[in-house]
Amino acid sequence: MSTLAIDYDDVVAAHRRLEGIAHHTPVLRSATADERTGASLHFKAEHLQRIGAFKFRGGYNAINQFDTRQKAGGVIAFSSGNHAQAIALSARLHGIRAVIVMPEDAPAIKIAATRGYGAEVVLYDRYTQDREALGRELAVAEGLTLIPPFNHPHVMAGQGTAAKELFDDVGELDLLLVPVGGGGLLSGCATVAKARYPRCHVVGVEPEAGNDAQRSLASGEIVSIATPRTIADGAQTQALGSLTFPVLREYVDEIVTVSDGELVNAMSFLAGRMKQFVEPTGCLAAAAALSGQVAIEGRRVGIILSGGNVDLNRFAELIQSAEGNPHEIHR
Ligand SMILES: *Cc1c(COP(=O)(O)O)cnc(C)c1O
């Protein structure tokens, strides 16, 4: 039956590889959030993962399975975001070379963070240079292995370990809400949910401005869109992957969308009430629950907080625009 890129056993194997290396992140509860929604919310705190996002799980799981030749050559990735740092740190932990290709106008702090993990950063001009061609050339010339941010079985299985830990810690859930960009995180988490608790309703959450995953599942084929304008920069993908899409089709029950305003309100709630610093993309699933985009009353709900990497000034600016009062005391 299985022509899918991963199954539950792959996630279990990934979890074994990550044991003692990735953080087993906590599951956060909030009486205020439960009261407001009438549900029982379980927040999986992947913003507290190494490098500040779940992407360490997939990156490490992929590099850990390199053969001797691949280890000798090193790894290459294209990313200006969390995948870059995930690959850089994972490569360092394995003692191998990492080359990260980033646009030259990427935020200086991201370039610095990636270099800080010991990676070589190659900058390109996103208006005149073709990054794929540049990467391919580098990979061939220098014997580097490319690890993509989501469309890779080892990456997908690694990301699924976040949901495995959540279920290991809290048991059965009625719903699982997961952010979706290219679908690496959601494919891994949905695989786990349906293997462990087939009745768990799995919901992907993407930005309203870029609802390609929703349209793809509705139409039965991968829909590509122009790069969406949203503050959720980790979910500004143009299309699901050829490996992630079939898994989502099999295991995901629903995709919902949230607006940038709803993301900001969720960020503000998480910071003000729960004392958690979560980046806009990391708030997608929480925003769907807190804004009422999904019916959750009376249910046990899992929410993946996927990352926390956002510039402090940018965070402050966004919080300024939130509705409601973030300063009230959390109970
Ligand atoms: C990459 C990323 C996502 C989206 O993950 P996909 O596997 O591409 O769907 C969500 N949140 C954060 C914080 C990310 O870095």
Tell me which residue has its CA closest to atom 7 in ligand 1. Answer: 184
Give yes or no for residue 143 having a pLDDT over 90: yes
Dump pLDDT digits (tens) for 216-273: 999 999 999 998 899 998 898 899 999 999 999 999 999 999 999 999 999 999 999 9
Q: Kindly list the catalytic residues.
A: 55, 80, 206, 210, 212, 306
* Ligand 1 midpoint to CA 184 (Å): 7
- Mean pLDDT in residue range 63-85: 95
Residue-level pLDDT at 130: 84
Q: Ligand 1 center to residue 216 CA distance, Å?
A: 18
Q: Whose CA is nearest to atom 13 of ligand 1?
A: 307
Q: Which CATH architecture has domain 8-53+152-322?
A: 3-Layer(aba) Sandwich (3.40)
Predicted confidence band of residue 324 (pLDDT cuts 50, 70, 90): low
Nearest CA to ligand 1 atom 5: 181
Percent of the chain clearing pLDDT 90 (strictly above): 84
pLDDT of residue 128: 86
Measure Cα distances from 151 to 104, 168, 184, 311 in Å.
24, 26, 7, 27
The predicted structure's pLDDT at residue 287: 98
pLDDT in tens, 268-296: 999 999 999 999 999 999 999 999 999 99
Residue 326 pLDDT exceeds 50: no
**What's the pLDDT tens digit per position in 157-174?**
999 999 999 999 999 999
Determine the distance separating the centroid of ligand 1 and the alpha carbon of 182, expressed in angstroms.
7
pTM for this one?
0.95
pLDDT digits (tens, 9 = 90+) for 101-134: 998 888 787 888 899 999 999 999 878 888 888 8
59 lines ligand 1 (CB under 6 A): no
Residue ranges of domains in the chain:
8-53+152-322, 56-146
Q: How far is 143 from 153, CA to CA, in rounded Å?
A: 21
Which ligand 1 atom sits nearest the alpha carbon of residue 47?
A: 13
Q: Which residues are registered as beta bridge partners of 122?
A: 101
Percent of the chain with pLDDT over 70: 97
Q: Do 8-53+152-322 and 56-146 fold alike per CATH?
A: yes
What's residue 321's pLDDT? Answer: 87
How close is the Cα of 307 to the center of ligand 1, in Å? Answer: 8
Ligand 1 in contact with 280 (CB < 6 A)? no
Is residue 201 scored above 60 in pLDDT? yes
pLDDT at 327: 47
325 has pLDDT over 80: no
Query: Rounded mean pLDDT of 54-76?
Result: 98
In the reported structure, the alpha carbon of residue 179 is separated from the centroid of ligand 1 by a whole-number distance in angstroms of: 7
Q: What is the dotted CATH code of the domain comprising 56-146?
A: 3.40.50.1100
Candidate of 180, 237, 243 to mutate for ligand 1, largest count of ligand atoms within 8 Å of Cβ: 180
- Ligand 1, atom 4: closest residue by C-alpha: 181
Judged against a pLDDT cut of 50, whether residue 156 lies above it is answered with yes
Mean pLDDT of the chain: 94
Q: How many residues does the chain have?
A: 331
Please state which of the ranges 11-25, 114-128, 150-164, 199-213 shows the lowest mean pLDDT.
114-128
